[in-house]
Structures are given as structure tokens and as C-alpha cells.
Amino acid sequence: MSQTKLSPPDAAMRRFLIVQFGVLGAFAVVMIAVEAVIPTVKTPWQRWLLAAGPAALLLVWAWEFFRVIRAQDEMMQTIHLRVVATAACLVLLGASLWGIPERLLNAPELPASLLLPIFAFVYGAAWAMTGGRR
Amino acid sequence: MKNNLRDLREERGWTQADLALQLEVSRQTINALEAGRYDPSLPLAFKIARLFGRRIEDIFTDAT
């Protein structure tokens, strides 16, 4: 009966991995492009419109992230939530540690817009170490 | 909890992916169930029992 069709949770995960790669790649490209273009734009509403581009990509990623977790079965949802908690704690810890020299020693600021992409990376690594080995 | 899920699946010539597709769970979940690393919820246990035409207690047994 061997089939090549994937079960709904597996198909959702495969779709998410492809979408995540595309969206976060696009975010990096759009962010660099907007950063280069925005100083030349004079009208405030056009500047806001340009800034909305990368913001929209992060919202797409967040939407897809919640969607893939909802599409998982009972066991995988539990693992996902455990990995989310671990990754979120690690990112918060890293950001807070960075904040100490930032505040006390005038170290460069951590760009808050990178927190979600960093979380996505840490989550992916944590997933590979826990959920992926099952 | 022990189970004979692997034997039942192999009797039918199904892969883990085939079983995952029929139960609408991930292949990793099937792997964890067969290895005894995960005990299913009651709804999933009923679904498995229905698929194989057995009673839950014919598939899952208390390990103690």
C-alpha cells in the first residue's frame, strides 16, 4: 500500500519549512533594500509604506508559524510548544544579556526587528535537536 | 505502555508513512508510538483500534 502522499501534519510541516525559508530570505533582502532606499524618500507616508514591507513579511511568518502548530497532531503539538518555550527563553536570555553592556557600557543596540528571525533560527535548531530526532 | 502496533502495521505491508496518512498524524508520532516512547490519547487509541478492527486492549497493554 506504500504511498508517496504525506499525512496532513507532515505535509503542513514540509510546507512551513519551504515558506519559512522563502519568507525569512525575502525579509533579509527587503530589509537591506528598504534601508538603502528609505533615506532618499522624502514623503513620510511613503517611508511608512516602505517600512511596512519587511513588517508584513514578519507577520506572514508568524501566521504560518501558528498555522503549522495548529496543523500538528497531539504529540507533535506538545513537542512544538516545548521547543517554542525553550527557544523563546533562550532568545529572551540572549537579548537581556546583550542589554546589560548596552545600558552600562554603551555597547551597540540590539536591533529589535531581528528578534523574530533570531527566534526562528533558534527554534529551528532546537527543533532539530528534539523533535527532529524522533 | 506496550503495544503491537508495529506487528499489525507490518502484517498489512504498510510503511509508517502509510499508517500516518490513515491516522492523520505525523510519521514521527507513529515511530514514537511503535517504540513505546509515546502513549496516545484515548481518541487516537480508538482511531487506531478502529483502523485495525481490534479492541484497544488488544493493541495496547499495561507494561506494569
Residue A100's pLDDT is 94
Residues lower than pLDDT 70 in chain A: 1-3, 131-134
Residue A42's pLDDT is 86
| A8 touching B (Cβ < 8 Å) | yes
For A114, phi then psi, to 5°, come to -90, -5
Q: Domain locations in chain B?
A: 2-61
| A12 touching B (Cβ < 8 Å) | no
Interface test with A, best of B9, B22, B29 (most A CBs within 10 A): B29
Residue A47's pLDDT is 92
The string of pLDDT tens digits covering residues B4-56 is 999 999 999 999 999 999 999 999 999 999 999 999 999 999 999 999 999 99
Neighbouring-strand partners of residue B3: B60
Residue B33's pLDDT is 95
The CATH H-level superfamily of B2-61 is lambda repressor-like DNA-binding domains (1.10.260.40)
Residue B1's pLDDT is 83
Neighbouring-strand partners of residue B60: B3
* Cβ neighbours of A83 (radius 10 Å): 22
The string of pLDDT tens digits covering residues A6-42 is 899 999 999 998 998 899 999 999 999 999 999 898 8
| A128 touching B (Cβ < 8 Å) | no
Q: Which residues contact B46 (CB under 8 A, 6 or more apart)?
A: B56
Distance from CA of A24 to the nearest CA of B (A): 25
Residue A5's pLDDT is 87
Confidence class for position B62, pLDDT limits 50, 70, 90:
confident
Residue B64's pLDDT is 63
